[in-house]
Amino acid sequence: MGNDYTRTISTAQECETTARLLLKIALLGSLIIASAYMLTPFTAQAAVARLDHVGLPFASSVANAGLIAHRYSQVRAAMEQGDFELASLPLTLLAEQGHSEAQYLLGIAHGTGLGVTHDMRESVRWYKRAAVNGHRDAQYNLGVAYSMGTGIAIDAAKAVSWWHKAAVQDSTDAQFNLGLMYAQGEGVSKDMLEASKWWLKAALRGDAAAQYALGLMYVRGDGVAQDLNQALKWWYLSASQGFERAQSALRKLGLIVTTQ
């Protein structure tokens, strides 16, 4: 029964609009549906907004603060013109000074070849630096890299470790992936109770895939007490967001499916 919780990861070409790599999988009985990367637009405007949200890194002196502010303004100006190549140098200098958001954005840039050389190893290097600085999305992406062997050797245990760090910072995607790893026993001892806990966290945050997976657990009594009412509750929530596997499960039960 537990073998049904098998991860199938599709290899998808990264594109210029990739801002985050989100692993999703849909499960129904013994049917395994290949997951795909879900892409969020990565634009100059989005990059500027992220930088502005984080603000400037700590400056050790007034002179250093002025230099950081100057480089920051250079990045913003180039980004606002949509010139990622022009932004890459001051962005790299900011990253070298410990700005975690700049480090994260450089990871994306090198992973997509946007304004810099396409280099997955360099992408992972910057994700690592940002992740060590506590950057949640970098921690998530680093987990993806370890899971798929993108720019680094596959290491399921390290993927779990980085996803856990992101999950405790409320990364819904990391919470979902942790549930999947515990359900499979990949990179960690198989533990259906622990899987159900992480899927519940993601489901409560509105993740449709987690809602579906949690419903499946209630149907089977995996990690939770068997409860068909709870299963239907989570499947309805998932189906209402357009999650096809949940909709299919409800239709097979002769139930009406409505979407938001």
Q: What is the pLDDT of residues 82-137, one digit of tens each?
A: 778 888 888 898 889 888 888 988 898 888 888 889 999 999 999 999 999 999 99
The distance in angstroms from the start CA to the end CA of the chain is 32
Contact 176, 199 (CB under 8 A): yes
Predicted pLDDT at 185: 92
Domains located in the chain, CATH noted = 2-39+144-252 (1.25.40.10), 44-133 (no CATH)
The pLDDT of residue 182: 94
What is the DSSP code (8-state) at residue 57?
P
- Who's near 189: CB < 8 A, 6+ residues apart? none
Is the predicted pLDDT of residue 235 greater than 90, yes or no? yes
pTM of the model: 0.77
The least confident of 10-14, 49-53, 233-237 is: 10-14
**Residue tagged 């026993």 (tokens):** 185
Q: How far apart are CA 238 and CA 234, in angstroms?
A: 6
Between residues 210 and 7, the one the model is more confident about: 210
